[in-house]
Amino acid sequence: MRLRKIFKSSQDQAVAAWIEEVKNIRIANMKVLLDDQALNLRSSLEELSKLKEFIGDPDHILGSPLTKHGEIAEHVQVNFSNADRLLVGKSRNHSIDVGRTAMEDYLRNGKMVQSKFYNGEKGTFNAVVKHLEKYPDFIKQGGNYDIPKDQYDQLMDIYNRGETARYSLNRSEETLFKNMKNWEVEKHVKVNKVIHPSEVDYKDVQTGVVDKVVDKKERSIERKNEDIENNIRYEHRPTLKEGLQTTAVAATLEGGTTFCLKIYEKHKNGKKLSEFTSDDWKDVGIDTAKGTAKGTIRGSTVYAMTNFVGTHAPVANSLVTATFGVVSLARKFEKKEITGEEFAMSSEIVCLDVGMSALSSIIGQTLIPVPVLGAIVGNTVGMFMVEIAKNYLDADEQKLIKQYVSQMNELDKKYKKEYESVLRNIQKKEQKFDSLIELAFDEDVNKAFEASIELAYSEGVEKDSLLKNMDEIDSYFMN
């Protein structure tokens, strides 16, 4: 019976330890992802720092104050694009390490890109045309063009309206549309295939403005990072699906354990498996169903307590086990199968057992930091110690408990009368005190004066310290 109890207790603690390990694995994975994301954020912000350093020294930027925005646009595109990719854990795909006299301004995914930032979409498109005239093999070699985002949108709007409803174009738009179509025919290209939008608008790369644009991008990166981290936490939160899975496993294990123990119990009593009657199987089935139900309650409760309340798994499991034990004893007490004293004593023993089980499992997990194994070994050793102690200490414990109960009964009788007497005196004094308080604040000054003196006496003030009449009052203030 005791071995069965120890085996069952170890199985319960193993289930609890496994549920907590599921939580620990999930949290560990979350921490790894959050640490990686912290590195991603740092790399992304460092990319923007490079851009800040570049625009912070205008003397090294090519062109006059009116044309410096061209080179600024190149660096903004490269650093902004790389910062976005680094934030989500991707590698840089833009590189500006090209010669200043090369036909490309930077590389994207290893392919050449030329940046054209002119005032107005017409001027920008003409700059693209001139560049291709100067470098006719640029597109053939995989080159592309980046233009301001706002100008790209306007250019594509004109192109699309020209293709579908040319009558909606004004004169200047129609001229630009025809130029784009002629360019496509002449160079065997498609405008929307070789021209792409930059990360920013034309106005964003102007000196005196770009600093604020970079600061805005930095704040945007930080907000996106916060969203990513929140999403990581959300993805690694305790879920109903995980809770149901752990509950199902706990129910299966406890039901299976109960089934095996019940079969073993009947076999130990001398009945072979082939000799089981329908009543025997019914008995096994009922106990198995009860075990499965307990496993369901245990699994869901331990999962909830370890994940939402932060309770250590052995403690959570012990609370469940203690609840089962005390509820079972309460039902026996209601049916008059045990006395109140037996109920109290048995409840104490149940709580002591589960407390020892929890403590042993915690110690086992500390000394043997192997998931589940530490809980099983610790619980087994601890419960064996408890059972051994019970064997040798049972008689003495019963004797001490009886002596304790007897002494408590004698003390209760002894002090009951004294308690009632003291209580009556307190009640009388409270009534008198309430009456004196009421009189002390009476509208009649004389009554209030007399009541105040009585109130002072009742509170232990010495008579010589009080002014009790007009003569004493006059003497006190005149002298």
346-350, 372-376, 397-401: which has the highest mean pLDDT? 346-350
Distance (Å, whole) CA 45 – CA 26? 29
State yes or no: pLDDT of 183 exceeds 90. yes
Share of the chain above pLDDT 70, in %: 49
Residue 338 pLDDT: 73
Q: Is the pLDDT of residue 1 over 50?
A: no
pLDDT for the residue numbered 114? 95
pLDDT higher than 60, residue 6: no
* Three-state SS annotation for the chain: CHHHHHHHHHHHHHHHHHHHHHHHHHHHHHHHHHHHHHHHHHHHHHHHHHHHHHHCCHHHCCCCCCCCHHHHHHHHHHHHHHHHHHHCCCCCCEECCCCCCCCCCEEECCEEEEECCCCCHHHHHHHHHHHHHHCCCCCCCCCEEEECHHHHHHHHHHHHHHHHCHHHCCHHHHHHHHHHHHHHHHHCCCHHHHEEECCCCHHHHCCCCHHHHHHHHHHHHHHHHHHHHHHHHHHCCCCHHHHHHHHHHHHHHHHHHHHHHHHHHHHHCCCCHHHCCHHHHHHHHHHHHHHHHHHHHHHHHHHHHHHHHCCCHHHHHHHHHHHHHHHHHHHHHHCCCCCHHHHHHHHHHHHHHHHHHHHHHHHHHHHCCCCCHHHHHHHHHHHHHHHHHHHHHHHHHHHHHHHHHHHHHHHHHHHHHHHHHHHHHHHHHHHHHHHHHHHHCCCCHHHHHHHHHHHHHHCCCCHHHCCCCHHHHHHHHHC
The token duo for 96 is: 């500006």
**What is the spatial distance between Cα 117 and Cα 66, in angstroms, rounded to a whole number?**
12
Judge whether residue 281 has pLDDT over 70.
no
Tell me the torsion sign for CA atoms 161, 165, 168, 173: positive
What is the structure's pLDDT at 379?
43
Which of 53-57, 311-315, 339-343, 377-381 bottoms out in mean pLDDT, i.e. has the lowest?
A: 377-381
Pick 55 or 419 by higher pLDDT. 55
Among the residue ranges 49-63, 207-221, 309-323, 444-458, the one predicted with the least confidence is 309-323
pLDDT for residue 425: 74
Torsion of CA 284, 285, 290, 293, to 10 degrees: 140
Q: What pTM does this model have?
A: 0.62
Taking only the tens place, the pLDDT of each residue in 241-250 is 776 777 666 6
Q: What is the pLDDT of residue 32?
A: 92
Torsion over CA: 276, 278, 283, 289 (sign): positive
pLDDT band at 351 (very low <50, low <70, confident <90, very high): low
The least confident of 19-23, 340-344, 376-380, 418-422 is 376-380
What are the structure tokens assigned to 291, written together? 């075990």
Using the predicted structure, report yes or no on whether residue 370 has a pLDDT greater than 60. Answer: no
Q: What is the mean pLDDT of the chain?
A: 75
- State the pLDDT confidence band at 349, using cuts at 50, 70 and 90: low
109 or 262, which is more confident: 109
Residues 6+ apart with CB under 8 A from 400: none
Rounded to whole angstroms, the Cα distance separating 168 from 174 reads 9
Tell whether the model's pLDDT for residue 13 goes beyond 50: yes
Res. 14 pLDDT band, cuts 50 70 90? low
- Give 69 or 418, the one with higher predicted confidence: 69
- The predicted pLDDT at position 106 comes to 94
Instruction: Identify the pLDDT of residue 381.
Output: 43
Distance (Å, whole) CA 231 – CA 240: 17
Whether the per-residue pLDDT at 11 is higher than 80: the answer is: no
Amino acid at 42: R
Does residue 173 surpass a pLDDT of 70? yes
Cα distances (Å, whole numbers) of residue 230 to 34, 82, 87, 222, 235 = 10, 23, 14, 12, 9
At 367 the pLDDT is 44
Look up residue 66 and give its two tokens.
């009116």
pLDDT at residue 373 in the model: 41
Asked if residues 256 and 292 have their Cβ atoms less than 8 Å apart, the reply is no
pLDDT score of 382: 46
Residue 3's pLDDT band, with cuts at 50, 70 and 90, is very low
Q: Which of 78-82, 137-141, 222-226, 256-260 has the lowest mean pLDDT?
A: 256-260
How far from chain centre, in Å, is Cα 348?
36
User: Do the Cβ atoms of 329 and 350 come closer than 8 Å?
Assistant: yes
Query: Does the pLDDT at position 142 exceed 90?
Result: yes
Q: Are 302 and 294 in contact (CB under 8 A)?
A: no
Q: How far apart are CA 407 and CA 224, in angstroms?
A: 70
pLDDT digits (tens, 9 = 90+) for 87-137: 999 999 999 988 767 899 999 999 999 999 999 999 999 999 999 999 999
Does 473 have pLDDT greater than 90? no
Of 351 and 443, the one with more pLDDT? 443
pLDDT (mean) for 327-342 = 69
CB atoms within 10 A of CB 390: 14
Task: Give the burial string for 255-289 (b: 16+ CB within 10 Å, else e).
Answer: bebbbebbbeebeeeeeeeeebeeeeeeebeebbe
**Which of 156-165, 287-296, 332-341 shows the highest mean pLDDT?**
156-165
14-18, 209-213, 355-359: segment of lowest average pLDDT: 355-359
Rounded-to-integer distance, Cα 88 and Cα 237, Å = 21
Summarised one tens digit per residue, pLDDT across range 424-456 is 777 676 666 566 566 556 566 666 666 666 666
Determine the average pLDDT of the residues in 401-405: 58
Q: Which comes out higher in pLDDT, residue 379 or 219?
A: 219
Give the integer Cα–Cα distance in Å for 91 and 40. Answer: 10
Q: What is the pLDDT of residue 187?
A: 92
Is residue 200 within 8 A of residue 212, CB to CB? The reply is no
pLDDT of residue 368: 42
pLDDT band at residue 321 using 50, 70 and 90 as cut-offs? low
238 versus 455: the higher-pLDDT residue is: 238
